[in-house]
Structures are given as structure tokens and as C-alpha cells.
Amino acid sequence: MKMTFRWYGDSDPVTLKNIKQIPGMVGIVSAIYDIPVGEAWPMDKIVALKNKVEEHGLKLSVIESVPVHEDIKLGQSTRDQYIENYKTTIRRLGEAGIKVICYNFMPVFDWTRSDLAYELPDGSNALIFDEKIVEKMAPSTGELNLEYFLKEIIPVAAEEDVKMAIHPDDPPWPIFGLSRIITNEDNLERLLKLVDNSYNGLTLCSGSLGVSKDSDMARLARRFGKRIHFSHMRNVKITGAKSFEEAAHPSQHGSLDMVEILKAYYEVGFDGPMRPDHRRMIWGETGKAGYGL
């Protein structure tokens, strides 16, 4: 297991210099944040990010995330161009030597209305709720859209030796009426079978799946072993059926047996990157929410 840390780029109050001082830290998890979703990432920006990280004696271990355009998630007819751009980004990251990409397939968080700027006959815009659009985000359709996407991109990822690691939906239950498709052990199993290729893998996040009492994180780590390409370690304190607090990492502070989870990773020989997920802020620190030191 390689210890990594999320860094949000130059605007992150936690600097690469800070991160380098954490004992055992070898890698950085980052992304390029100023490219519109759906566009291919330019090679010069990828190389600049990588060089900056390496100048600090760290490795750019994981890109989290290369976002998936909404048209791909919704299966719109315009998706193919965005998928082509995604493939280009995979190829460029592979060429630059970055071998793990984390992504998710959650429909945008704040879609409480299906169209935020629908044009009315008089030319004005209004929020509308169209169940035909919401249906496109139903689990069955969502899974078909994910399958279409994976069938296109996984062969490219395999060719470039870039491991794709999907992050589970967070939290793992429907939110504001939007369905979720990656929420439990059965979903993960189905996802891996959609394209049964080792490059189609997981970001196993104890903080997302672990808030559901049905998810035994150590069991999931043992079960999916070689298909786990990236690990998020977070402890949570379950306070109700669908309520939780993010807790400090040691087991005694939350509901998860963190030692048992780490043991499971060790047993399956996991040697990929792991990062603490949603750090707390202490001593009056003012970092990015969830990403203090």
C-alpha cells in the first residue's frame, strides 16, 4: 500500500511542501481543475502538474478525477464526442506515466430539477421537472449508460496500462430523488462484470460504502482484491439508518474496524495507492472542507 494525499493544486492551503513532511507519504492525488468537463486534457497541463509534484520529491500517483460529462451519464446522443475526448485524456495520462484514474458516475448532485434553464414559449427560462429526463437517471438506464462508456474506454485504458477506478456513489443511497448505481457489494460485482477486464476496477472507499451497515469493508477488500486500484480510508460514526458523521481514523472513534480493513488489504497483497479520505481540521486550520492536514 502506498500512502498518498489529495492536493487541490496551487490554491490549496495545504502545500506540496506540507505534504512532503508527513512521514511515509510518497504520492499525490490531484487533477487539473480549470478544464471544462468533457474536453480532452492538454498534454502540456498534464506534464506541468506532474513536474510540479515531482519537484517536491513526490509522485503523481492518481488523477482524481477525470470527470465524466453528464451527457455520457444520461446516454444523450451527443455522448460519443465526449467519450472520444475522455479516451484522449486517458492516452495522454498514460503517456505521461500516470497509471490510475479515479472517476464516478453520479448524476450531478443538485439536480433537484431535471432542467435548470428550460425555455418557455415566451422566451423566459424556468426550472422544470420532466420525469422522462429523470428516468434517464434510473439505476437500470444508468447502468446501461455506464456499460456503454466502459466498453468504449476500457480497451484504451488497457492499451495504455492505465487502471480505471470507479468511486462508489456517496452517500450510497438515493438523494433528492436521484438514483444511485454504485452503492453496495452486488452493484460492485455487476460493474466489474460489465467489462470483465482488470483495468475496469474500483476505488474502494470505506467512507462511502461504509456508512451503510450492510457493507463489510474488510470483506469487500478481500472479495475484490486485485480489482481494487485505489483505496480511500475514512472512518465514519453511524448515527442512524441514513445518518453518519465522518470521524477520526482510528477504529475507536467511529463505527468501522479500520485495523481489520487494513489487514484485509494486506492479505490480498494490495500495493496500490491509498489516501486518507475527508480529513478533519484541527487546531483552527482553515483548509478546503474535508481536506485539512
3-state class (DSSP) for residue 243: strand
> What are the angstrom distances between the C-alpha of 217 and each of 92, 102, 154?
33, 19, 26
My answer on whether omega of the bond before 171 falls inside 30° of 0, hence cis, is: yes
Residue nearer to Mn ion on the CB measure, 163 or 232: 232
For residue 257, the minimal CB distance to Mn ion (Å) is 18
- Distance CA(32)–CA(111), nearest Å, equals 24
Orientation angle between helical segments 185-194 and 139-160, nearest 10 degrees:
50
Which region among 121-129, 153-161, 258-266, 277-285 touches Mn ion (by CB under 5 A)? 277-285
What separation in angstroms does the CA of 39 have from each of 45, 88, 206, 258? 13, 9, 31, 38
The footprint of Mn ion on this chain (CB under 5 A) covers a number of residues equal to 3
Task: Pick from 69, 227, 232, 275 the residue near Mn ion by CB under 5 A.
Answer: 232
- Lookup: cell for 20: 512532503
Find the shortest distance in angstroms from Cβ 164 to Mn ion: 16
Under rule CB under 5 A, residue 277 binds Mn ion: yes
What is the pairing mode between strands 27-30 and 2-6? parallel
Q: Closer to Mn ion by CB, 114 or 183: give it.
A: 183
Nearer to Mn ion, 83 or 261 (CB): 261
Q: Near Mn ion by CB under 5 A, which window of 56-64, 88-96, 121-129, 276-284?
A: 276-284
Cβ proximity to Mn ion: between 202 and 205 the closer is: 205
* Partners of 128 in the β-ladder: 115
- Residue pointed to by grid coordinates 485505489: 230
Residue numbers 67-86 binding Mn ion by CB under 5 A: none
For the window 186-205, what string marks contact with Mn ion as x by the rule CB under 5 A? -------------------x
Binding residues for Mn ion, rule: CB under 5 A, are: 205, 232, 277
